[in-house]
Structure 1
Amino acid sequence: MLEKPTYTDGLDDGCHSGKRKGFIRHVQKRYQTRVLIELQRLQQRKKANHISQQTALEQEVMKGIDTDALNSLAKQ
């Protein structure tokens, strides 16, 4: 038979009913933290993807352009 999870000492349910809800809040906090980390990773991937797409587009645009004149300016 499965036992109910035990609650962490020192945390109450906020209603002062005497019931402890530390375990549940701990699990919820871990879940929220995990969701925030995943959202941050998603934003970083989107930014990296946007940058790589921008670079690819710039390279595609520059394919037909003669850049020899720019090289001589860089040497000055």
Structure 2
Amino acid sequence: MIEQGYPLAYADGFQDGCDSGNKAGGSLFDEFKKDVNRFNQEQDYAQGWTDGFRQCETEQESIQRQVRMSIEQQKLQQQTKSNELAEQHALEQEVMKGVDTSSLKSLEK
């Protein structure tokens, strides 16, 4: 951010706010960070922290939502496959009703 022309205090605040936003959004790998003294005394740090928090919390929530959707899609696919197998088994049972298979017993060892 500094290379892009942002003040050091803003960049520091943005990084701390982003880590905090990630944590608030559900990340297990980030920690809440906020230099309260700088936040209260340095406008650039406070603005950077607020901007970073909002942006990263939103991004983290989006990631969490996508993960939950992916898990639900996998569950749905597994349930669909299970239902198809159950239907196939029921159809096979229906087809075999009334068929005399006693002569096939001699094929078993």
TM-score (norm 1): 0.73
Q: 1:59 and 1:24 mapped to 2: Cα distance?
A: 52
TM-score (norm 2): 0.52
How many pairs align? 63
Alignment of 1:13-28 (within 5 A): 19-20=51-52, 21-28=55-62
Q: 2:18 aligns with which of 1, 5, 8?
A: 8
Long gaps (5+) in structure 2: 1-16, 22-47
Long gaps (5+) in structure 1: 1-6, 12-17
Which stretches of structure 1, 4 residues or more, deviate above 3 A after TM superposition? none
> Percent of counterpart pairs with the same letter?
44
Greater RCO (Cα-Cα under 8 Å, separation 6 or more) = 2
More helix by share: 2
Report which of the two structures shows the higher radius of gyration computed on alpha carbons.
2
CA RMSD of aligned residues (A): 1.9
The AA in structure 2 aligned to 1:65 is V
